Amino acid sequence: MSLRMALLGLLTVSGPSSGYDLTKLFERSINHAWQARHSQIYPELAKMADGGLVVIEEEGPRGRKTYAITEEGSRLLREWLLAGESSRSIRDELALRAFLLPTLEPEDAVAVLREAVLSCDAKLDGMEAIRRAQDGKGFGRYALELGMRQTRMFRDWAEETAEEIERSIRS
């Protein structure tokens, strides 16, 4: 259901788009909360078209198909968002790694944490670039802000924890 809703959301905001566009949009906007490959997106769009949630608006030149959200699609998205559920199911591989860190020798744990900090910095640079490109306007603004905060928080946690472990090694 989540993938479907994500696609409906992207179509709402970005207007009619191709599967290819949506794949790119996924990577650029929603990536820190959800991922999907084109091999998942194309069949899902086809199913949604079957169900009347989207329509093929145009079959362009190079076999390109443009999908647009329908009334029914909008209604479904709205209902889903308003139906709380708030289950907060998270899968975060980096956090999992962090959790498993105490099984390592302290020195190794510190090394992994230091590397995580660098990786977060790189990611933050990327997000910053996207933010500048969007220039404050645009849909993904709130979400990007959230993603950056989360990444920054993880980064800081990793750095602090590395220092804490280093202190405990020395003593």
Partner DNA sequence: TGTTGACGTGTCGACTTTTACATGTCAATC
Partner DNA sequence: GATTGACATGTAAAAGTCGACACGTCAACA
| Binding footprint of a second copy on the chain (CB under 8 A) | 2, 5-6, 9, 12-13, 29-30, 32-35, 77-78, 81-82, 84, 86-104, 108, 111-112, 115-116, 119, 123, 139-140, 142-143, 145-147, 149-150, 153-154, 157, 161
Measured distance CA(100)–CA(125) in Å, rounded: 27
Q: Find which of a second copy, DNA, none residue 92 binds, CB within 5 to 8 Å per kind.
A: a second copy
Measured distance CA(17)–CA(89) in Å, rounded: 29
Q: Find which of DNA, a second copy, none residue 70 binds, CB within 5 to 8 Å per kind.
A: none
* Buried b or exposed e, range 116-131, using 16+ CB within 10 angstroms: bbeebeebeeebeebb
Tokens of 110: 């510190």
DSSP 93-144: HHHHHHHHGGGS-HHHHHHHHHHHHHHHHHHHHHHHHHHHHHTT-STTHHHH
Per CB under 7 A, which region of 35-43, 100-108, 126-134, 155-163 contacts DNA?
Answer: 35-43
Shortest separation between residue 22's beta carbon and a second copy, angstroms:
14
- When binding is defined by CB under 7 A, the residue of 8, 11, 19, 116 that contacts DNA is 19
Residue 17 buriedness (CB in 10 A; 0-12 / 13-18 / 19+):
buried
Shortest separation between residue 107's beta carbon and DNA, angstroms:
30
Shortest separation between residue 43's beta carbon and a second copy, angstroms:
19
Tell me which residues touch DNA (CB under 7 A). 1-3, 18-21, 23, 35-40, 42-43, 45-46, 60-65, 89, 91
